[in-house]
Structure 1
Amino acid sequence: MQSYIQAFNEYLQIEKNASHYTIEFYLDDLQEFSHFLEEENIVDLRDVNQQVARLFLTRLYNGRSSRRTVSRKISSLRSFYRFVERENIVKNNPFVQVSLPKTDKPIPGFLYKEELERLFAANDLNTPLGQRDQALLELLYATGIRVSECQQLRLQDIDFSIGTVFVTGKGRKQRYVPFGNFAQQALENYIETGRSALLAKSNQASEVIFLNARGTPLTVRGIRKVLDKMVERAALTIHVHPHKLRHTFATHMLNEGADMRTVQEMLGHENLSSTQIYTHVTKDYLRKVYMNSHPRARK
């Protein structure tokens, strides 16, 4: 089993180019299944049938795993068995017929415009770090790109002439995402002045756009810390993580009339179902529609 897991690990890294976190979840789920097989005295993957798969599912439910967790583990095992089936190690995938539990899809958290304005006003634009933070905030909100995509951006990825950023996303899939005037002004201000001052501290050449206080590339963890400090300066009581800005981008775009296919393309979603979670409406949007539509909403 361990040799098959190692082969699957290499497949995820090399062929699928899966992220570190995705691989970590897959391997954890497979190790749990491996322990289950040991307890059941099953030593050959070919001996795992649908009955064994359902027994494992029952074990997960008895362990009080959430429906979301159970669904992820079964999906991991389906993918693993598709791999070993492709390698002619097994003839059938015992997890194909195992139905996934229906999971609740909570409405993604997002920021209202008033909260965003307080964040945009929290940075000191007279300092290199303040200019960087403003550019980072404007870009994340303007494009909805993932924090990992933002962290690896290079100077050559920004085209100011047409206002687009060239993004390399999951699975090395590439796309162009437009940005507006506020993001462009913040980026130009940072790159022309603040970034040069930060880069001088490291005495190293770098094409990475966002740098830390030492002049070296800002990490994903560093970007999260930057946002945390921004929230403190804005005296907000909410938690703002990079993905919340991505949620906010998608929510505001759809609420203002953008079509879902366009938003899907900008977010880099492979499936439209991933974009559909943003079709909820905000209280402000509901009120605007009501006030403009109901005959007795206003005089």
Structure 2
Amino acid sequence: MTNVQKEIDRRKLDEKLPSMPWFVQQFIDYKLPDLSPSTLLEYLRDYDTFFSWLRAEGLSQAGSNQGVTLTELEVLRMDSVTAYRLFLTTKREGTNSRITVSRKLSSLRSLFHYLSQIAEDEDFYPLLKRNIMAKIEIKRTHKPKDTAAKLKGKILEENELLEFIGYILEGYATDMQKNKQALYSHELNKERDACIASLILNSGLRVSEVVNLNVDDLDLGNKLLYVYRKGNNDETYKTPVYFREQAKDELATYMNLRQSRYRTPKREKALFIALRNGESEGSRMTKRAIQAMIMKYAKCFGKPYLTVHKLRHSFATDYYLQNDIYKTKEQLGHASTETTEIYAHLTDKTMSEAIERRVDDNV
């Protein structure tokens, strides 16, 4: 079995690569064994923006991004890089946050580093003789404490986790009484939608991990899922991830109607199915569909800033209160505990309240 999202991203990567200069194609080939196709796709989008800007500013004479040359990159000046940073933070069609600008510069640094330090021409000389990006210092922007501060008040807490699942099952229909189309769609999908929300709120899975789930990955009796974890490039190995008892009922209910409700063909292995308009049989739900679905319910639930990724944060905060940082890291599939520290900061307030209560109880 292959990782579905990876296949989609790999296909997009193959489609986009020919529009890039040859040295970028070479760089992507070099990085393929180490980085996921979705990360490399982000790189290509960043290079697209940069090369288009170079051409618009007259810093490259190329007629298309594919024609940008190594010489043009070699003679870039510091003030050009500063101007590009400024462009990223002020461009009209949606300005980039500090974190995004940092990431875009970081992907350029990776390319320039490869061209000046690793790749070589037929005479064993570096492809790029001068690396302007080596002069750029990229500050670490998202410290766990900052991320936690941004999330405060924007995730579900305590009772809200159950309330949100209940709202998807029933409350939404009450709010949508006058909207026939919304009611029809809700009646068809409420068990599936509640199941997805419950699964994330009770396991902390990423949306890409949910999309990739197959029926065979579910072990309902042992409350286990077998998941392709982000950053684990071993295609043959799936990590066992536990989900809490609360998700069991929603999963069982959904599994009973997965085949009949969505006219799912026997050959379809995906766990979560969508029956799209005009189609005669169901097929795997997409990442975008799950993201849009959660946002739809969140808005009506009165939490418009809630996204599918914030459901993961909601689970993690809740889980961290009952477990230590290492267990939380393991459950979430983080590469390092530094990322998991977010939840230590998020629960500070809750922890201090709990200690206060304990002191009061002991008085």
Superposition TM-score tier, normalisation by shorter sequence: 0.7 to 0.9
User: Partners in 2 of 1:19 and 1:163 — Cα distance?
Assistant: 29
Quote the offset at 1:2 in angstroms. Answer: 1.7
User: Partners in 1 of 2:293 and 2:73 — Cα distance?
Assistant: 51
Matched, 1:18 2:23: no
Counterparts of 1:54-69 in structure 2, within 5 Å, are 54-63=78-87, 65=89, 66-69=97-100
User: Partners in 1 of 2:77 and 2:220 — Cα distance?
Assistant: 54
Out of 205, 210, 222, the position equivalent to 2:272 is 210
Kept in 2, the 8 Å contact 1:128–1:195? The answer is no
Counterparts of 1:97-116 in structure 2, within 5 Å, are 97-103=135-141, 105-107=146-148, 108=151, 109-116=154-161
Matched, 1:28 2:48: yes
User: Partners in 2 of 1:123 and 1:62 — Cα distance?
Assistant: 43
Quote the offset at 1:154 in angstroms. Answer: 0.3
User: Partners in 2 of 1:298 and 1:32 — Cα distance?
Assistant: 66
- Specify the code of the residue in structure 2 equivalent to 1:288: A
Quote the offset at 1:171 in angstroms. Answer: 4.3
Matched, 1:270 2:332: no
Out of 151, 159, 163, the position equivalent to 2:223 is 163
User: Partners in 2 of 1:189 and 1:82 — Cα distance?
Assistant: 52
Question: Structure 1 residues 152, 92: CA separation in 2 closer, same or farther (over 3 Å shift)?
Answer: same
Quote the offset at 1:139 in angstroms. Answer: 0.8
Kept in 2, the 8 Å contact 1:151–1:219? The answer is yes
Counterparts of 1:235-274 in structure 2, within 5 Å, are 235-256=301-322, 258-274=323-339
* Cα displacement string for residues 103-151 of structure 1 (whole angstroms, at most 9, x for unaligned residues): 3533234211232222121244896622212221111111211111101
User: Partners in 1 of 2:268 and 2:259 — Cα distance?
Assistant: 11
In structure 1, the residue corresponding to 2:257 is in which secondary structure? helix
Counterparts of 1:129-144 in structure 2, within 5 Å, are 129-144=189-204
Matched, 1:177 2:241: yes
Give me the TM-score of the superposition, normalised by structure 2: 0.68
Matched, 1:7 2:26: yes
Quote the offset at 1:24 in angstroms. Answer: 4.5
Supply the RMSD in Å over aligned alpha carbons.
3.4
Quote the offset at 1:297 in angstroms. Answer: 8.0
Give me the TM-score of the superposition, normalised by structure 1: 0.80
Identical counterparts, % of pairs: 24
User: Partners in 2 of 1:127 and 1:285 — Cα distance?
Assistant: 40
**Unaligned stretches of 5+ residues in structure 2:** 1-19, 62-67, 90-96, 121-126, 171-185, 277-281
Aligned residue in 1 for 2:292: 225
Question: Structure 1 residues 180, 106: CA separation in 2 closer, same or farther (over 3 Å shift)?
Answer: closer
- Specify the code of the residue in structure 1 equivalent to 2:339: S
Kept in 1, the 8 Å contact 2:214–2:270? The answer is yes
133-142 vs 279-288, which deviates more?
A: 279-288
Matched, 1:78 2:109: yes
Question: Structure 1 residues 141, 47: CA separation in 2 closer, same or farther (over 3 Å shift)?
Answer: closer
In structure 2, the residue corresponding to 1:95 is in which secondary structure? helix
User: Partners in 1 of 2:80 and 2:341 — Cα distance?
Assistant: 31
- Specify the code of the residue in structure 1 equivalent to 2:48: D
Quote the offset at 1:203 in angstroms. Answer: 4.3
Quote the offset at 1:172 in angstroms. Answer: 4.7
